[in-house]
Amino acid sequence: MASCSIPLSVGVVGAGIVGLSIALELQRRGHQVTVIDRDTPMLGCSSGNAGYLSEANIFPPAAPDMLMKLPKLMLDSDGPLVIKPTYAPQMMSWGWHALAAVKGDVRASITRTLAALTTGAYEAILDLASHANAGHLLSRDGGLVAFKNRDALEAKCASLPVFQNYGIAVDRLDAAEIHEFEPALAKDIVGGLMFRNSGRCSNPRQLGLLYAEHLQGNGARLLQDSIESVDPAEGGGAWLRGSKERLRFDRVVVCAGFWSKELLRPYVSRIPLASERGYHLMLPKPGVRLRRPVVFGEPHFAATPMDEGLRLAGTAEFASADAPPNVERATMLLRLAQQYLTGLDGQDGQPWMGVRPSLPDGLPAVGVVPAHPTIQYAFGHAHNGLTLSAVTAKLVASQIEGAGPHAHSSSLDLHRFQQGFARAA
Ligand SMILES: Cc1cc2nc3c(=O)[nH]c(=O)nc-3n(C[C@H](O)[C@H](O)[C@H](O)COP(=O)(O)OP(=O)(O)OC[C@H]3O[C@@H](n4cnc5c(N)ncnc54)[C@H](O)[C@@H]3O)c2cc1C
């Protein structure tokens, strides 16, 4: 990896997987990095995700057929999607932009960008993780989607040409084939899809902790402080004002997940970022064995084999980030998963909730504050934050090194929301 001729000091706000990946990439390019988080590293959304390095998530969250199903979906308390009535007013802007992203040409453009980002993602994360001696946590045995219902399988298979068009390796499997891949699946699974190049992380929290250890071991500072504002500095650079101290850097990168919106409010108005909470149930003694992530097609959540057992994870609950978790959203995962994995044992299951930073087109926000180019941002990765962490790190690093707009700037810049996706289309 070539190092930059002029080392810069960079302050990174947020020690989730996005911030730590950016810090690691910058450090290996020769920059002096400081990571600041109000908590210890990897306590946010990044710690409890499904560990699925997925090539399948290439579509915006709203789809034309989903809009028709929305009322029914929202009335089903065991359903994959819940919008808390008290949160609905804060979803107006998100919803408006999500609808705009349903339009054919905009949807195609978003899908193309997401596909371009995800197809290089496994190589990128393996490269970065190996650099931090964490490559052993990653493996690439594909990812499955399993269906019980033939109509649901057919509906999913309608997207096969789109995946193939964007170079995503996917096969349709019949019942015998899917059971050959995963013998633990219930006998009434009728078939599914195999995403051959998808992978998994067997311990997402440990991945980030190894990044943090490597960073510190090689001279980076990791500070615990709550950042209250980000300000351009006179004469160049930028300030991070925390509750304990004020620090000046050549560049700062805001990667504070859902909370990035607050820090960027003085510079970018009306960021349609929503709190899309997800749940997991960690099963230490599941009594069944899977070899790879399996998404259950109808309830739409994943079961991933991990170092500590089997993790059932997913679903979307749009609700205030600081509202108490609804533990029933985690425990219902067991009830639903038992329909797909006969003999699944839920004893000692541990529930968890995390706040996905969700943007309405499914693309993250990775760019530069226009009037203050020393302030950059990378957040809003929603369902793809682990998968896209290293790809994002490369985009940010190239921008910091003055290589000009990165390859996907017009699609990932926050300005797309001010311009009604005009630049993404
Ligand atoms: C149930 C579930 C399953 C998922 N499964 C997958 C999956 O299989 N694959 C995948 O790719 N993605 C998955 N995701 C999504 C992925 O976990 C997220 O996209 C990713 O973790 C976002 O990372 P982040 O670093 O942006 O945010 P976070 O992990 O939330 O980190 C943000 C950090 O910023 C800090 N912070 C916030 N404000 C401040 C402040 N003012 N000052 C200092 N620090 C601050 C926080 O403390 C936090 O540590 C899943 C998410 C959930 C909830």
Q: Is 261 in the pocket of ligand 1 (CB under 6 A)?
A: no
85 and 209 in a single domain? The answer is no
* Percentage of the chain modeled with pLDDT above 70: 95
CATH number at residue 194: 3.30.9.10
Query: Are residue 406 and residue 382 in the same domain, yes or no?
Result: yes
* Residues 354-377: tens digit of each pLDDT: 999 999 999 999 999 989 999 999
4 CA distance to ligand 1 middle (Å): 28
Residue 379 Cα to ligand 1 midpoint, Å, equals: 9
Q: What's the pLDDT band for 79 if we cut at 50, 70, 90?
A: confident
| 245 lies in the same domain as 106 | no
- Report the atom number in ligand 1 closest to the C-alpha of 313: 1
Across the strands, what pairs with 30? none
- Could you tell me if the CB of 315 is within 6 A of ligand 1? no
For the cut 90, the answer to whether the pLDDT of residue 1 exceeds it is no
Whether residue 285 is predicted with pLDDT greater than 90 in this model: the reply is yes
Say yes or no: 352 and 221 in one domain: no
The arithmetic mean of pLDDT across residues 334-341, rounded, is 97
Q: Which atom of ligand 1 is nearest to the CA of 378?
A: 26
pLDDT range class, residue 17, cuts 50, 70, 90: very high
Identify the pLDDT of residue 394.
Answer: 96
How does residue 270 score in pLDDT terms, banded at 50, 70 and 90? confident
Which range, of 77-81, 206-210, 274-278, averages the lowest pLDDT?
Answer: 77-81
Split into its structural domains, the chain has a count of 2
Are both 293 and 396 inside the same structural domain? Answer: no
* pLDDT, position 269: 86
Closest CA to 375 of 233, 252, 269, 261: 252
pLDDT at 422 over 50: no
Q: Do 232 and 96 fall into the same domain? A: no
CATH number, domain at 38? 3.50.50.60
C-alpha distances out from residue 299 to 107, 202, 335, Å: 24, 23, 11
Same domain, 239 and 142: no
Q: From the CA of 386, give the closest atom in ligand 1.
A: 11
Answer yes or no: is 1 within a domain. Answer: no
- pLDDT at residue number 147: 98
Q: Is the CB of 305 under 6 A from ligand 1?
A: no
pLDDT at 200: 98
Mean pLDDT in residue range 126-142: 98
4 has a pLDDT exceeding 60: no
**Residue 7 pLDDT level (bands cut at 50, 70, 90):** very high
How far does residue 386's CA lie from ligand 1's centre (Å)? 8
Query: What is the 362 CA–ligand 1 centroid distance (Å)?
Result: 15
What's the 154 CA to ligand 1 centre distance in angstroms?
33
User: How far is ligand 1, taken at its centre, from the CA of residue 180, in Å?
Assistant: 34
Mean pLDDT, the chain, integer: 93
Residue nearest to atom 21 of ligand 1 (CA): 46
Distance 369 CA to ligand 1 centre (A): 21
- Lowest mean pLDDT across 64-68, 144-148, 414-418: 64-68
Give the pLDDT score at 166.
95
Distance CA 322, CA 173 (A): 41
Mean pLDDT value of segment 24-29: 98
Decide whether any atom of ligand 1 lies within 6 Å of the 226 Cβ: yes
pLDDT band at 140 (very low <50, low <70, confident <90, very high): very high
Q: For residue 3, what pLDDT is reported?
A: 44
114 lines ligand 1 (CB under 6 A): no
Residue 372 to residue 232: CA distance in whole angstroms: 6
pLDDT at 420: 57
- Which of 358, 387, 403 is at the close of a domain? 358
Place of tokens 């509202």: 323
Measuring from atom 22 of ligand 1, which residue has the nearest CA? 385
| Boundary (domain end) residue, out of 358, 377, 409 | 358
Last residue of a domain, one of 339, 358, 377: 358
Confidence of residue 425 (pLDDT cuts 50, 70, 90): very low
- Ligand 1 site, residue 386, Cβ cutoff 6 A: yes
| CA-proximal residue: ligand 1, atom 19 (nearest) | 385
Each residue of 84-121: pLDDT tens digit?
889 989 889 999 999 999 888 999 999 999 999 999 99
> Would you state the pLDDT for residue 75?
67
Q: Is the CB of 385 under 6 A from ligand 1?
A: yes
Nearest CA to ligand 1 atom 36: 256
Range of the domain at 230: 9-46+205-272+362-418
In a domain, 51, yes or no: no
User: 356: Cβ below 6 Å to ligand 1?
Assistant: yes
Assess whether pLDDT exceeds 60 at residue 407.
yes
Tell whether 155 is covered by a domain: yes
**119 CA → ligand 1 middle, Å:** 21
Confidence at residue 88, expressed as pLDDT on a 0 to 100 scale: 87
